[in-house]
């Protein structure tokens, strides 16, 4: 899920943000995650062709490919109207079978386990698959050749040389790249700039200012802050951990990713949990616990909710329900304490939205070739035009007219300067721990939860995982 958007974009700032994360894997012992079947030894005959300058991945030009796309905030038109036609123009004898779903795990996981995998999969949404387990089961294609291949439409450059630094590392497991995180997403508190201008409200820089503003918003009959507990609790996990990262630097989040003992009970996490718990008690509509993301987002479009924690895909996701007077804008999460180590302007932004080629399908090389098409400048430019989202392809949004939300995101990134940080990866690496964080944050925010209990609960889950030899561990530096 991802999106952003309007007018003049400082490309120099927007697409040089990411630094390589440096991911490596700790040797794993034992069994694979229970949700992914190892299966019998694969005997599927896979399509291959002859490598050449025109065919750097050595695909079979006549072999069909199958892709499955998540139908969420980004929509699917970029696949049907852009990527597939570009692929078909290049390889006219290769038929592309396409399908879309909002339930990736339900649709795709059984096929992976049965050895009947699609060739390229967009793993996203509330029902995304446990990708760490997919990698451990050998079901994801190593993308090293993709990144080393010639760019689809930028002469003289490899695919890797056309991307934001760190792209391959973001999707690396065991020191090898398996996932393409395609969309560059800005996270923060989204609001209607028109509503704020009308009421003379200014997005807060400090927590005291945030509380004061929430009181004013509440007095105006509007819910100050809200998210959907039914399927979007991860928005709130990111908000809380972004605050923790601003309090204690991104090292706090790296320690969480690395399952370091005491990471979840770090004072920075506890302080952030305490601050957000108070927001939950005073300013969050408790009925939102049972609502889905689009239901709360619709209420925001109706000016019934002021601040909504989300990524920059929000604007595109709500395009059909957004009134002409509603102007999306994003604000950084305010400083929790006067001694936060990162400034109030610091932002969380990173590549996200996983796409991968299946190693067990009939045409993994075709799956990689489809990804090479997606990483072309032409496809990435049209992706931004259609979805109001940036990609990891450098310069691909040059000349694209951007919407209010993306312009606001760009402005926020400009103000953040060097203080743009990636965030965390534990929920992608370890789905079970990610699921636990969703339940824990809902208890904290909707059920009057205690911050210390939240931290203790997550610490216990993290250390239980750390001691589980059946789960392959990843590390981040």
CB atoms inside a 10 Å sphere around CB 368: 28
Q: Is the alpha carbon torsion for 104, 111, 97, 149 positive or negative?
A: positive
**Is residue 228 located within the same domain as residue 119?**
no
Percent with pLDDT over 70 in the chain? 91
126 φ/ψ angles, rounded to the nearest 5 degrees: -65, -25
**Is residue 169 located within the same domain as residue 283?**
no
In a domain, 231, yes or no: yes
Question: What Å distances lie between residue 70 and 1, 66, 100, 354, 363, CA to CA?
Answer: 9, 14, 6, 10, 20
**Is residue 323 located within the same domain as residue 219?**
yes
In a domain, 460, yes or no: yes
Q: Are 107 and 117 spatial neighbours (Cβ–Cβ below 8 Å)?
A: no
**Is residue 339 located within the same domain as residue 388?**
no
**Is residue 301 located within the same domain as residue 377?**
no
Least confident piece of the model among 131-140, 240-249, 269-278, 398-407: 398-407
Q: Are 381 and 136 spatial neighbours (Cβ–Cβ below 8 Å)?
A: no
In a domain, 476, yes or no: no
pLDDT of residue 146: 98
The mean per-residue pLDDT over the stretch 200-226 comes to 98
The Cα 192–Cα 73 span in angstroms is: 18
**Is residue 297 located within the same domain as residue 431?**
yes
**Is residue 298 located within the same domain as residue 161?**
no
Count the domains in the chain: 2
**Is residue 295 located within the same domain as residue 150?**
no
pLDDT of residue 395: 87
**Is residue 291 located within the same domain as residue 328?**
yes
The mean per-residue pLDDT over the stretch 421-450 comes to 95
In a domain, 404, yes or no: no
The Cα 434–Cα 420 span in angstroms is: 23
Q: Quick check: 93 pLDDT over 60?
A: yes
Give 95's pLDDT tier (boundaries 50, 70, 90): very high
| HEC sequence for the chain | CCCCCCCCCCHHHHCCCCCCCCEEECCCCCCCCCCCCCCCCCCCCCCCCCCCCCCCCCCCCCCCEEEEEECCCCCCHHHHHHHHHHHHHHCCCCCEEEEEECCHHHHHHHHHHHCCCCCEEEECCCCCCCHHHHHHCCCECCCHHHHHCECCCCCCCECHHHECCCHHHHCEECCEECCEEEEEEEEEEEEEHHHHHHHCCCCCCEHHHHHHHHHHHHHCCCEEECCCCCCCHHHHHHHHHHHHHHHHCCHHHHHHHCCCCCCCCCHHHHHHHHHHHHHHHHHCCHHHHHCCHHHHHHHHHCCCEEEEEEECCHHHHCHHHCCCCCCEEEECCCECCCCCCCCCCCEEEEEEEEEEEECCCCCHHHHHHHHHHHCCHHHHHHHHHHHCCEECECCCCCCCCCCHHHHHHHHHHHHHCCCEECCCCHHHHCHHHHHHHHHHHHHHHHCCCCHHHHHHHHHHHHHHHHCCCCCCCEEEC
The Cα 209–Cα 334 span in angstroms is: 8
Q: Are strands 65-70 and 96-101 parallel, antiparallel or unpaired?
A: parallel
The Cα 135–Cα 314 span in angstroms is: 29
The mean per-residue pLDDT over the stretch 14-36 comes to 34
The mean per-residue pLDDT over the stretch 251-260 comes to 98
443 CB contacts (<8 Å, ≥6 apart)?
Answer: 449, 454
pLDDT of residue 33: 35
- Give the pair of three-digit tokens for residue 220: 């105006």
pLDDT of residue 34: 34
pLDDT of residue 7: 31
In a domain, 97, yes or no: yes
The mean per-residue pLDDT over the stretch 400-427 comes to 91
Query: 158 vs 39, which has greater pLDDT?
Result: 158
Q: Are 360 and 367 spatial neighbours (Cβ–Cβ below 8 Å)?
A: no
In a domain, 474, yes or no: no
**Is residue 56 located within the same domain as residue 66?**
yes
Global pTM reads: 0.78
Give 63's pLDDT tier (boundaries 50, 70, 90): very high
Mean pLDDT of the chain: 90
- Residue-wise pLDDT for 137-148, tens only, equals 999 999 999 999
Q: Are 33 and 136 spatial neighbours (Cβ–Cβ below 8 Å)?
A: yes
CB atoms inside a 10 Å sphere around CB 110: 11
- Give the pair of three-digit tokens for residue 271: 């302080």
Give 73's pLDDT tier (boundaries 50, 70, 90): confident
CATH of the domain at 202: 3.40.190.10
Give 44's pLDDT tier (boundaries 50, 70, 90): low
- Residue-wise pLDDT for 331-360, tens only, equals 999 999 999 999 999 999 988 899 999 998
Tell me the residue range of the domain where 221 lies. 188-349+425-467
The Cα 328–Cα 190 span in angstroms is: 7
pLDDT of residue 447: 96
pLDDT of residue 12: 34
**Is residue 275 located within the same domain as residue 309?**
yes
pLDDT of residue 468: 97
Give 5's pLDDT tier (boundaries 50, 70, 90): very low
Burial of 61 (0-12, 13-18, 19+ CB in 10 A): middle
**Is residue 150 located within the same domain as residue 260?**
no
Q: Are 329 and 322 spatial neighbours (Cβ–Cβ below 8 Å)?
A: no
The mean per-residue pLDDT over the stretch 14-20 comes to 35
The Cα 290–Cα 231 span in angstroms is: 9
In a domain, 409, yes or no: no
The mean per-residue pLDDT over the stretch 65-76 comes to 94
The Cα 445–Cα 226 span in angstroms is: 10
Residues found in the chain: 477
94 CB contacts (<8 Å, ≥6 apart)?
Answer: 59, 60, 61, 62, 63, 64, 65, 87, 88, 366
The mean per-residue pLDDT over the stretch 27-31 comes to 30
pLDDT of residue 455: 98
- Give the pair of three-digit tokens for residue 315: 């604007």
In a domain, 417, yes or no: no
Bridge partners of 357, per DSSP, are: 120
- Residue-wise pLDDT for 264-278, tens only, equals 999 999 999 999 999
């Amino acid at each position: 899920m991802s999106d952003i958007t309007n007018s003049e974009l400082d490309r120099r700032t927007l697409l040089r943000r990411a630094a390589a994360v440096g991911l490596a894997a700790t040797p794993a012992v034992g069994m694979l995650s229970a949700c992914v079947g190892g299966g019998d030894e694969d005997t599927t005959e896979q399509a291959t062709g002859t490598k050449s300058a025109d065919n750097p991945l050595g695909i079979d030009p006549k072999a069909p490919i199958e892709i499955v796309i998540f139908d969420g905030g980004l929509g699917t038109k970029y696949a049907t109207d852009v990527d597939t036609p570009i692929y078909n123009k290049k390889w006219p004898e290769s038929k592309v079978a396409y399908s879309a779903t909002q339930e990736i795990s339900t649709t795709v996981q059984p096929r992976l386990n049965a050895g009947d995998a699609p060739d390229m999969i967009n793993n996203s949404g509330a029902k995304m698959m446990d990708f760490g387990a997919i990698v451990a089961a050998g079901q994801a294609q190593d993308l090293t050749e993709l990144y080393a291949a010639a760019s689809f439409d930028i002469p003289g450059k490899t695919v890797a040389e056309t991307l934001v630094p760190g792209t391959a590392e973001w999707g690396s497991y065991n020191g090898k790249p398996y996932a393409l995180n395609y969309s560059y997403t800005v996270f923060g508190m989204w609001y209607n700039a028109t509503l704020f201008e009308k009421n003379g409200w200014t997005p807060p820089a400090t927590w005291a200012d945030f509380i004061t503003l929430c009181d004013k918003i509440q007095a105006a009959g509007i819910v100050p802050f809200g998210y959907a507990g039914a399927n979007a609790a991860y928005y709130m996990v990111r908000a809380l951990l972004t605050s923790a990262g601003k309090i204690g630097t991104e090292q706090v989040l790296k320690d969480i990713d690395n399952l370091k003992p005491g990471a979840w009970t770090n004072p920075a996490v506890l302080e952030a949990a305490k601050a957000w718990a108070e927001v939950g008690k005073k300013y969050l509509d408790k009925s939102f616990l049972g609502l889905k993301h689009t239901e709360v987002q619709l209420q925001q479009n109706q000016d019934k909710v002021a601040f909504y924690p989300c990524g920059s895909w929000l604007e595109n996701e709500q395009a059909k329900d957004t009134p002409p007077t509603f102007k999306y804008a994003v604000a950084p999460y305010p400083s929790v304490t006067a001694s936060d180590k990162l400034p109030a302007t610091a932002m969380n932004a990173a590549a996200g939205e996983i796409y991968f080629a299946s190693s067990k399908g009939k045409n993994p090389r075709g799956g990689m070739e489809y990804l090479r098409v997606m990483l072309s400048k032409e496809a990435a430019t049209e992706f931004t035009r259609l979805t109001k989202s940036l990609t990891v392809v450098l310069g691909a949004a040059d000349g694209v007219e951007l919407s209010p939300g993306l312009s606001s995101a760009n402005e926020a990134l400009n103000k953040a300067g060097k203080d743009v940080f990636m965030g965390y990866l534990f929920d992608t690496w370890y789905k079970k721990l990610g699921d636990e964080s969703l339940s824990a944050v809902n208890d904290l925010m909707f059920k009057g939860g205690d911050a210390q209990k939240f931290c203790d609960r997550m610490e216990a889950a993290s250390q239980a995982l750390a001691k589980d030899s059946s789960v392959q561990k990843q590390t981040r530096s």
